[in-house]
Amino acid sequence: MSVSVFSHRTVLLDEAVEALGIRPDGVYVDCTYGRGGHSRLILSRLGAAGRLIAFDRDLSAVADAATIADPRFTIVHAGFSDLGTELDRLGIDQLDGVLMDLGVSSPQLDEAARGFSFRFDAPLDMRMDQSRGMTAAQWLASAERADIAEVIRDYGEERFAQQIAGAIVTAREQGPIATTRQLAQIVARVVRTREPGQDPATRTFQAIRIFINRELEELALTLPQALSRLRTGGRLAVIAFHSLEDRIVKRYMADAAQADKLPSRLPIRAAEIGEAPLRLVGKPVRASSAEVAANPRARSAILRIAERTGAPL
């Protein structure tokens, strides 16, 4: 596997690493290595006793990580929902920080053969891990119309989901939908109106990608694992790019930062209510106007930060 030569700007690089409050001797996890922007900055702030474990499903990202010759660094080829299992395998019990940079990376979008983007004509793949699982083309060839519509509606927030699903089912009767261009053209024939500057296929491609890679399920499974591994004072920092992702993160952090709910009229002092396992840190962080100007993909990014308290789970 060759290392990708595509350029990649790490979104909220300094802000996310600052959010972790790096301790020189700490143990940290970068749940999405990508092209190593966050990982390399974390390593630069660790001392000789520090350690960083990075996860990625993408074989190109794993190949890039293999170029880091640093005994403090370990790359794991796995989805971050395997966090607990992989940490057990590595003999790591507690962490000082967990960083999650969600969504798809620039190299994945820019490499035509990956099939993530309608900007290129390429095989309709969309898998983050091309070594396993069903491709988008394979799923579209066999999925029921109702299931296709549900995915496009729920994960793409697409109001024309039913029409698009019907067009896909009609088109595949004439032959396989095997390329990104075929799918984009099918969607364009159905979706006549769209927000200025947005391609008609944007929401459909996003929805199918999220479904194929189980992105929301991965996130929901990982957040409690991360919390359970953080030592007191450890930080959880999550960058989301999509409203569905951010909603999961926001709700999870808010729930974990709230002590047990009691009836409003119960005669009990605030000090007698148990402490919540998480404490929210600051307000959500967004990319600066300068960063967005340099990297438009940063526009939708939102960073949420929380800190582990000493309260039991």
Domain membership flag for residue 122 = no
Q: Go through 289-302 and write b for each residue having 16 or more CB atoms within 10 A of its CB, e for each that does not.
A: eebbeebebbebbb
> In this structure, are 237 and 95 located in the same domain?
yes
56 known member of a binding site: yes
> In this structure, are 180 and 227 located in the same domain?
no
Match 């993408």 to its residue by tokens. Answer: 58
Q: Is the pLDDT of residue 120 over 80?
A: no
101 known member of a binding site: yes
> In this structure, are 190 and 262 located in the same domain?
no
Q: What is the pLDDT of residues 196-234, one digit of tens each?
A: 667 899 999 999 999 999 999 999 999 999 999 999 999
Domain membership flag for residue 278 = yes
Quick check: 36 and 3 in contact, CB under 8 A? Answer: no
Q: Is the pLDDT of residue 14 over 70?
A: yes
166 known member of a binding site: no
Domain membership flag for residue 8 = no
Q: What is the pLDDT of residues 133-173, one digit of tens each?
A: 999 999 999 999 999 999 999 999 999 999 999 999 999 99
DSSP 179: B
In degrees, to the nearest 5, what angle opens at C-alpha 112 toward C-alphas 107 and 115?
A: 95
The pLDDT of residue 88 is 98
CATH number of the domain to which 154 belongs: 1.10.150.170
Domain membership flag for residue 125 = no
> In this structure, are 245 and 274 located in the same domain?
yes
The domain of 291 spans 13-106+215-308
Q: By C-alpha distance, which of 128, 123, 149, 156 is closest to 61?
A: 128
CATH number of the domain to which 57 belongs: 3.40.50.150
77 known member of a binding site: no
37 known member of a binding site: yes
Picking from 186, 212, 238, the residue at the C-terminal end of a domain is 212
Domain membership flag for residue 258 = yes
> In this structure, are 102 and 224 located in the same domain?
yes
103 known member of a binding site: no
Domain membership flag for residue 156 = yes
108 known member of a binding site: yes
